């Protein structure tokens, strides 16, 4: 997390799934940007693995195309690319072929010999979840990751399908790796604006005294996407919004908003405080689920002037599918700080606008000093943390409207990331550098993952018992099903649809 003046030790990155979408779209652009920003060590190598028959040149060319398309800096400069590509090699291999791990070991040992030092080894599992067991077991068998201080494994989401499978996966990984060698990625934790939640809360004395049930009325966390399932219908059918987004990204954000102040910025300390929050989230009884959780699935509709198909018409999706593409929850945290404060979480695909934000709604003033006739309905203070694509933190307050009369109006103070001079790094840049430097603060520990599954288990189980649903129940290009409004209306709340203050009074 803190990358000041740091260069990692000599490092070899082995990417299982080196020909896949994630490598092209996220991993390679992140490494390339780290290279341009001077964060990669001089002794550095990327080894891509996959079954596709390619030679080094063809593999490098494929990754270069991806850079042009997906890097925040666009097409690479030829001279810089010529140097960077010398780090990259490709080893065609099948993860189920035990012999290929011996070859990989020889390759890694050979690099160590050339460099005259034992390099750190990072094994990135960018493969489907069902292949993780084969890779981790085979790495263990040939002793590829024998040095607990130097070798790490990075595991992509989804981490399990439910609590039992997550526990099983943790058990399997810890047969070969110690917990401190395992980096479970949640890319939301690498986002600049998400990291800033901790700095905002614990770097300022101003907010902590009012960051509790005495002053905060409710909290909303929204992650709204305009995209549909794209070409991931097969995966999404077995997942749905609750597993795909809430179990990981939204619950992790919730932890950062709700955690107690850590004693230090140490990885274990931060993760301890976060897991405390998950443990305190009230578990729902099956008969309560309908009062606390709402699901939806998009029908066809119009988005930004374009006609888009319904979920059931997407590639890889069952035409009678009951998979939810929208989920909204009302959660309570049963501890001293948050007793009685509702936390509303929602996420959906094909929503009207792409926006991820956190809204902290403060309570109204205890007594209205100013005559109602002058001020209309006073708007209580609200803090909004816009995560993406708009990146800012704003505080809404009441101010006097200039003039001879005592009229009030809403005002706003904004910290805007666009006004900062440096380019914002992508989440994967932060996270990959952290893995190289052995900083696990922004990664999920086994107990965090298991607790997060535990929070959503009653909902998953209750939802699984019903197979005749009123789906689809929201049109693409809207803000989700109407039942989501009712979910929070009982407490007198409405979803804060847009992050922009004055559209949203
Ligand atoms: N793409 C994304 O934006 C995101 C992906 N993820 C996660 O990342 C992981 C990878 O996703 P993604 O890149 O999209 O998947 P892809 O389907 O695009 O890539 C899968 C990769 O696995 C390789 N592979 C499959 N079977 C074998 C095998 N038997 N032996 C060796 N290699 C094999 C493929 O190589 P080949 O075909 O050459 O054998 C390919 O490189 C998944 O867990 C996914 O959930 C998480 C968040 C976002
Ligand atoms: O993990 C996932 O995240 C993406 C959204 O990520 P973002 O950084 O673009 O906000 C989501 O589309 C995908 O379904 C999910 O698997």
Q: ipTM for the complex?
A: 0.98
Which of 101, 133, 156 is a domain's end point?
A: 156
Same structural domain for residues 152 and 194? Answer: no
Paired residues of 385 in beta bridges: 358, 393
Whose CA is closest to atom 4 on ligand 1? 22
Hey, what are 241's tokens? 């919004």
State the pLDDT at residue 504. 41
Distance of CA 111 to the CA centre of its chain: 34
Q: Is residue 142 part of a domain?
A: yes
Instruction: Answer whether residue 161 is part of any domain.
Output: no
pTM for the full model?
0.94
**Which residues are near ligand 2 (CB < 6 Å)?**
157, 225, 244
Domain count, the chain: 2
- Mark whether 308 and 224 lie in a shared domain: yes
Q: Which ligand is nearest to the CA of 100?
A: 1
Q: Do residues 102 and 203 both lie within one domain?
A: no
> Of the residues 113, 135, 156, which one is the last residue of a structural domain?
156
Question: Does residue 217 belong to any structural domain of this protein?
Answer: yes
Inside any domain, residue 301:
yes
Q: What is the CATH number of the domain that holds 345?
A: 3.30.360.10
Instruction: Give residue 445 CA to ligand 2 midpoint distance, Å.
Output: 20
Identify whether residues 82 and 149 lie together within a single domain: yes
Kindly state whether residues 212 and 146 are assigned to the same domain. no
- The CATH number of the domain where 134 resides is what? 3.40.50.720
Q: Residue 467: its pLDDT value, please?
A: 73
In a domain, 388, yes or no: no
Is residue 246 within 8 Å of residue 456, measured between CB atoms? Answer: yes
Sign of CA dihedral 26, 27, 31, 34: positive
pLDDT for 466 equals: 82
Domain that holds residue 485: 189-377+444-489
Distance 308 CA to ligand 1 centre (A): 26
Same domain, 135 and 212: no
Do 223 and 351 reside in the same domain of the chain? yes
Three-class HEC string of 114-164: HHCCCCEEEEEECCCHHHHHHHHHHHHHCCCCCCCCCEEEEECCCCCCCHH
Ligand 2 geometric centre to CA of 225 (Å) = 8
Statement to judge: residues 332 and 255 lie in one domain: yes
Residue 180 lies in a domain: no
pLDDT at 500 (0 to 100): 46
pLDDT in tens for each of the 505 residues of the chain? 666 545 679 999 999 999 999 999 999 999 999 999 999 999 999 999 999 999 999 999 999 999 999 999 989 999 999 999 999 999 999 999 999 999 999 999 999 999 999 999 999 999 999 999 999 999 999 999 889 999 999 999 999 999 999 999 999 999 999 999 999 999 999 999 999 999 999 999 999 999 999 999 999 999 999 999 988 999 999 999 999 999 999 999 999 999 999 999 999 999 999 999 999 999 999 999 999 999 999 999 999 899 999 999 999 999 999 999 999 999 999 999 999 999 999 999 999 999 999 999 999 988 888 877 666 667 789 999 999 999 999 999 989 889 998 888 889 999 998 777 677 899 999 999 999 999 999 999 999 999 999 999 999 999 999 877 899 999 999 999 999 999 999 999 999 975 444 444 4
Residue nearest to atom 15 of ligand 2 (CA): 244
Domain membership of residue 38 (yes or no) is yes
Residues designated catalytic: 249
């Amino acid at each position: 997390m803190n990358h000041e003046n740091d260069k990692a030790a000599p490092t070899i990155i082995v990417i299982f799934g080196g020909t896949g979408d994630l490598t092209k779209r996220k991993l390679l652009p992140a490494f390339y940007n780290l290279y341009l920003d001077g964060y990669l060590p001089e002794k550095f190598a990327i080894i891509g693995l996959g079954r596709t028959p390619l030679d080094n040149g063809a593999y490098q060319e494929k990754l270069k195309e991806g850079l042009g398309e997906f890097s925040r800096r666009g097409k690479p400069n030829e001279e810089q690319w010529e140097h960077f590509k010398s780090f990259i090699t490709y080893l065609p291999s099948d993860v189920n072929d035990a012999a290929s791990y011996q070859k990989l070991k020889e390759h890694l040992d050979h690099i160590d010999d050339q460099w005259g030092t034992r390099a750190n080894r990072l094994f990135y599992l960018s493969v489907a979840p069902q292949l993780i067991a084969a890779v981790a077991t085979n790495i263990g068998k040939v002793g590829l990751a024998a040095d607990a201080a130097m070798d790490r494994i990075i595991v992509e989401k989804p981490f399990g399908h439910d609590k039992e499978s997550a526990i099983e996966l943790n058990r399997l990984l810890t047969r070969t790796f110690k917990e401190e060698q395992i980096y479970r990625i949640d890319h939301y934790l690498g986002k600049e604006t998400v990291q800033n939640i901790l700095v905002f809360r614990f770097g300022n004395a101003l907010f902590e005294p009012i960051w509790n049930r005495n002053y905060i009325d409710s909290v909303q966390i929204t992650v709204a996407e305009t995209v549909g399932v794209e070409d991931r219908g097969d995966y999404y059918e077995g997942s749905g919004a609750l597993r795909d987004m809430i179990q990981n990204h939204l619950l992790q954000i919730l932890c950062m908003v709700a955690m107690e102040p850590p004693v230090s910025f140490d990885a274990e300390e931060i993760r301890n405080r976060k897991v405390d929050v998950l443990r305190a989230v009230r578990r729902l009884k099956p008969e309560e689920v309908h009062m606390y959780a709402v699901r939806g699935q998009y029908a066809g509709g119009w988005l930004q002037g374009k006609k888009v198909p319904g979920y059931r018409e997407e590639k890889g999706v069952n035409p009678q599918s009951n998979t939810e593409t929208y989920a909204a929850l009302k959660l309570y945290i049963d501890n001293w700080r948050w007793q009685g404060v509702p936390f509303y979480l929602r996420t959906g695909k094909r929503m009207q606008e792409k926006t991820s934000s956190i809204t902290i709604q403060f309570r109204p003033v205890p007594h209205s000093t100013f005559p109602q006739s002058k001020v209309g309905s006073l708007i209580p203070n609200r803090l909004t943390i816009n995560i993406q694509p708009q990146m800012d933190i704003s505080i809404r307050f009441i101010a006097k409207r200039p003039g001879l009369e005592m009229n009030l109006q809403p005002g706003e103070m904004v910290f805007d990331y666009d006004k900062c001079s440096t380019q914002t790094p992508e989440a994967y840049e932060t996270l990959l550098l952290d893995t190289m430097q052995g900083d696990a603060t922004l990664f999920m520990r086994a107990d965090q993952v298991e607790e997060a599954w535990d929070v959503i288990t009653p909902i998953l189980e209750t939802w699984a018992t019903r197979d005749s649903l009123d789906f689809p129940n929201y049109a693409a290009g809207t803000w989700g099903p109407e039942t989501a409004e009712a979910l929070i209306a009982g407490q007198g709340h409405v979803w804060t649809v847009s992050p922009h203050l004055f559209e949203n009074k």
